[in-house]
Structure formats: C-alpha cells, structure tokens
Amino acid sequence: MNKINELFKSELQVINIGLESFKESLKNENIRVIQVDWRPPAVTDDRALDALNKLLGR
Amino acid sequence: MIDIDNANKEALNKLLSARPMLVGLDKAINIVPGMKKNMILHAGPPIDWERMCGPIRGAVIGALIYEGLADNEEEAKKLAASGEIEYSPCHHHNMVGPMAGIVSPSMPVYIVKNEEHGNTAYATMNEGLGQVLRMGAYSPKVIEHLKWMEEIMYPAMDKAIKKIGKVDLKNLIAQALHMGDELHNRNKGGTSLLIRILAPAMVITSVPDIAEAVLKFLDSNDHTFLNLSMPAAKASLDPARNVEGSTMVVVMARNGTDFGIQVSGLGDEWFTTPATVPPEALYFPGFTKEDANPDIGDSAIMETSGLGGFAIGASPAIVQFVGGTPQDGLNRTLSMYEITVGENNVYQVPYLNFRGTPTGIDIRKVLEKNVLPFIDTGIAHKEPGIGQVGAGLVDAPVEVFKKAVVKFAEKYS
C-alpha cells in the first residue's frame, strides 16, 4: 500500500492503451501521457482465433 | 510447424526482385494464355452472369457488341445469359483489369515481362475517364472509341515500344512516387514519364496525324499509366505465388459482387466475401452513395504490391481529393507497416525520409493487429451503361483473412 502511495506522490507518466479519451483527460490535467495505438485482434470466433494462435506459434 | 517467417521472406524477395518491362502489345486471343474466341475475362474472383453486378454486365454487353457477336443491347444480353460465353477471371490468365476488367478476344493488351523471373502479365490499354467500358458503359460512342484504340492506337503504341525496345516500368513507378503518384488513383506522374519515352519514337514510327492523335489521347487521360502499373504489379507478384508455408497475400481483387484474396501458401484457392461500397468517397456532381456499386476491379493488385493505398503518404493530392490532409495519408501508410512482411527496396515515400513502401500483406498480422488493408479506388454506377460516379477509400473486408487463416492452419497443421 505504501508503495502505491509513493507512486501517486511522484510525477505521473502514463502509457495509455485502448480508449483515447483516457489520454485526453490526463492531458487536460497536464499529465505526461502517450497513447499506444493498439486494438484487440480482429477474430472473436473460436475457430479463427485457434487458427491464428497456431500460426503465430502461441 | 513450417517456418512461416522464412517462407514470407522468400515470397517477399521474389516480389521485390522483379523487373517488369513493357515489351509490346498484341491482341488478347493471340497472346493471353487460355484465351478463347467465346471467352470474356472479368475482374475479381470467379462469377457467372446471374451474379454479375451492373457495371460488369454493362461491360460484357459492350464487349459482345464490340466483338460483333451482338448488334444491340437485347441481343447481347441474350447471348451473355445463353451459356455460349465462357467467363473467367483475368487473374486466371496472368492478366489484370481495372474496374469491370472486361477483356474480349480482339482487345489489344500490353505485354509486361518480368525479366528477373521470366513470367509475363497482361492488361488492356486504358480507355480514358467517365463513360467507358470498364465502368460499365456501352453506348455507341464507347464502342467506337474501343475500335479506334484497336485500329489506330494499338499499332502506333506497339511500333513505338518495339522501336524503343522495352520500357522499364519499375523505374517509372519509382520516379512517379516521387512525383506525387500512389499509382492507383493517381497516375499523372507515371503517365507524363511514359509520354516522354514514347513520343520521340512514335513521331518516327507513325505518320504525323496518328502520332498526334495517340499522344494527345495519352496526355488527356491521367489514368493512362494505371494499365501499366497494374500489370507491372501482377508480373511482380506472380512469382511469389505458391511459396510453401507463406501467409503473404498475392492477389486482392473484386468483381463488384465479391471481394476475394489469394495467399501464396494456399495455391489458387480464392477466399471471398461480399464486396462493400467505399464508405469514404467523393461523388461527381449529380451522383450519391445510392448510385455506387460495391467495390470493383483488379486494381487492388496495386495495394497487394505495396502501392496504391499503401503508398498514399506519397500522394497528398489524392488524400485532398477525398477530403483528407497530407498527415491523414501518412498515417494511413504508417498503419500499413503493421500488417506487411517488409518494406520495398525501390518504391519509396519521400515524406517518410524515403522509407520503402509497406509491402507484402501478411494475413496473420491483419487479424492480430486488427488493421485492414487500405485501398483507394474508383467507383462505378451500380446500373449497367452509366459509368464512373466517383472515387473513394475502402478497407478490405476482414472475413477473407479469417477464412484464409483457418484454411492455412488446416493445411499446415
């Protein structure tokens, strides 16, 4: 818990993944933030996901 | 499991080492492999008359009238549906056709030889803008123009090219990218460079009236070079087919009904899904999205080879045409690096410090990153006989990549 408190006492530097509006809110508070351009894989059905994981060696 | 990364490197190297040269023209029936007197080639994956969209039907009607097999629209429709005409995709004949992509036996075609790998690709000459066969128009004016191209333009072009010997298309494409072309929707630079090469030869090999008429027509048509950038891409991609274990896309093509891809390690199989209307588009005055036919043409061979939408960062004029900024174009190009096997060693984007264009779509990356190949394209009217109504931007549909990945895992597991 102490460590978490220490973190929030130091200057926040944020890497945001996902919704870009989170980045905008932090930016408006003058917090250093960068956005990672990431989105979930395009496959949701099991068959295609299994196939993709196989081809990606996972 | 097979080493997919190595297989993709091999496929990409075959694409990048290609040296496509324009060496002349001939009539389709004389030179295109598998062409028959009763055959009509079309863009995209296989399709029969019943499922053909309006622009392809219009172009088939025009081609049958042009060939003298029908006297009018009614006769042509009857013949087209009779079963006497054999339809086949351009891609099955080492050929590519923009928009409807209709090729009939008498049509002259460019011959593009890949000097590195020894294969050849073909495409018809570009007819110009607006009411043209490739957009589904078939009025007497359209047929008359096609006849002029066959009887006057084709011999003049062939004689000039033979006089020059060969035209290095890779060199012209590389230069055109530095002149603001992305080689799909903008071919102004490439067309200008081609005319510079052809003109001095044509004024020697043709009588002045013909040389003047042909050069004027080439100059009046900003898409003259599209019908050379496309077979150059086709000739470059074909050697990358059938690399065992490669997930690299070797064809993306649309027939206005279906969107299809072929993948290097999966042979000649098409993976298809319904084509969609480009969501971002600019329509000519008097036309709207309601008039638009779904995505159509073999011209997505440009994106497949790392040009067109993939190189749109090199073409601010095209982004502006559809209402974007130069930065939008760069962002589009940058996102395509996420889904490609590598970067081009000759084709560059000047505004990215001459970085090579993103080249060789990997079906795995498309699904993993959820970034779809981006195509900038012309739009035809959905009814036969009308022609082009605009131009726009469209993403390749995700379904074809899902189908291909499933098949790939089945084949290689």
Model confidence pLDDT, tens digit, residues B41-84: 999 999 999 999 999 999 999 999 999 999 999 999 999 999 99
For residue B236, is it within any domain?
Answer: no
Structure tokens given for B95: 């050929």
Confidence bin at A37 (pLDDT 50/70/90): confident
Cβ distance B367 to A41 less than 8 Å, yes or no, reads: yes
Residue B6 sits at the chain A interface (C-beta within 8 Å): no
pLDDT at B129 over 80: yes
- The DSSP secondary structure of B213-225, one letter per residue, reads HHHHHHHH-TTTT
B270 shares its domain with B134: no
CA–CA gap between residue A34 and residue A13 (Å, rounded):
8
Residue B66 sits at the chain A interface (C-beta within 8 Å): no
- Domain range list for chain A: 12-55
CA–CA gap between residue B203 and residue B209 (Å, rounded):
10
What domain count does chain B have? 2
Higher pLDDT, B269 or A48: B269
Cβ distance B405 to A43 less than 8 Å, yes or no, reads: yes
Q: Is the ipTM of this complex over 0.85?
A: no
Structure tokens given for B378: 């012309």
Q: What are phi and psi of B222, to 5 degrees?
A: -65, -15
Q: What are phi and psi of B111, to 5 degrees?
A: -110, 115
Which among A37, A55, A57 has the least Cβ separation from residue B405? A55
B103 shares its domain with B184: yes
Beta partners for residue B379, in sequence order: B390
pLDDT at B187 over 70: yes
For residue B36, is it within any domain?
Answer: yes
State the alpha helices, DSSP H only, in B278-397.
Answer: 301-304, 316-321, 326-336, 363-369
CA–CA gap between residue B27 and residue B73 (Å, rounded):
24
Cβ distance A48 to B413 less than 8 Å, yes or no, reads: no
State residue B275's pLDDT score: 96
Which among A37, A45, A56 has the least Cβ separation from residue B364? A56
Cβ distance B409 to A39 less than 8 Å, yes or no, reads: no
State residue B33's pLDDT score: 98
B252 shares its domain with B225: no
Confidence bin at B378 (pLDDT 50/70/90): confident
Give the strands of the sheet with B374-380, arranged side by side: B280-283, B388-395, B374-380
B305 shares its domain with B208: no
Helix-, strand-, coil-residue percentages of chain B, each rounded to 5: 45, 20, 30
Confidence bin at B182 (pLDDT 50/70/90): very high
pLDDT at B113 over 70: yes
Cβ distance B405 to A40 less than 8 Å, yes or no, reads: no
By residue count, chain A amounts to 58
First-residue to last-residue Cα distance in chain B: 7
For residue B27, is it within any domain?
Answer: yes
pLDDT at B318 over 80: yes
Cβ distance A52 to B367 less than 8 Å, yes or no, reads: yes
Q: Is the pTM of this model over 0.90?
A: yes
Confidence bin at A1 (pLDDT 50/70/90): low
Q: Nearest Cα to B268, choosing from B395, B105, B404, B362?
A: B404
Domain CATH for B222: 3.90.1710.10
Residue-wise pLDDT for B21-39, tens only, equals: 999 999 999 999 999 999 9
- Domain around B25: 19-231
Residue B154 sits at the chain A interface (C-beta within 8 Å): no
B247 shares its domain with B213: no
pLDDT at B196 over 80: yes
Question: In Å, how far from its chain's centre is CA B173?
Answer: 14
B131 shares its domain with B57: yes
For residue B11, is it within any domain?
Answer: no
B266 shares its domain with B402: yes
B91 shares its domain with B204: yes
Cβ distance A55 to B402 less than 8 Å, yes or no, reads: no
B195 shares its domain with B317: no
pLDDT at B323 over 80: no
* Most B CBs within 10 Å, among A20, A52, A58, to test the B interface: A52
B88 shares its domain with B169: yes
Residue-wise pLDDT for B293-307, tens only, equals: 999 999 999 999 999
Structure tokens given for B340: 């490609």
Residues A28-39 have a mean pLDDT of 90
Question: Which of B231, B262, B283 corresponds to the end of one domain?
Answer: B231
Domain CATH for B292: 3.90.1700.10
* Beta-carbon pairs below 8 A across chains A and B: 49
Q: Going by C-beta distance under 8 Å and a sequence separation of 6 or more, which residues neighbour residue B155?
A: B206
| pLDDT, averaged across chain B | 96
B174 shares its domain with B314: no
Q: How far is B28 from chain A (nearest CA, A)?
A: 41
Residue with tokens 């088939």: B60
B23 shares its domain with B155: yes
For residue B14, is it within any domain?
Answer: no
Which among A37, A43, A47 has the least Cβ separation from residue B367? A43
State residue B1's pLDDT score: 66
Which helix H or strand E contains B140, and what residues bound it? helix B140-148
Confidence bin at B245 (pLDDT 50/70/90): very high
pLDDT at B372 over 70: yes
Beta strands in chain A (DSSP E): 13-17, 32-36
For residue B52, is it within any domain?
Answer: yes
Residue-wise pLDDT for B333-371, tens only, equals: 999 999 999 999 999 999 999 999 999 999 999 999 999
Cβ distance A40 to B370 less than 8 Å, yes or no, reads: yes
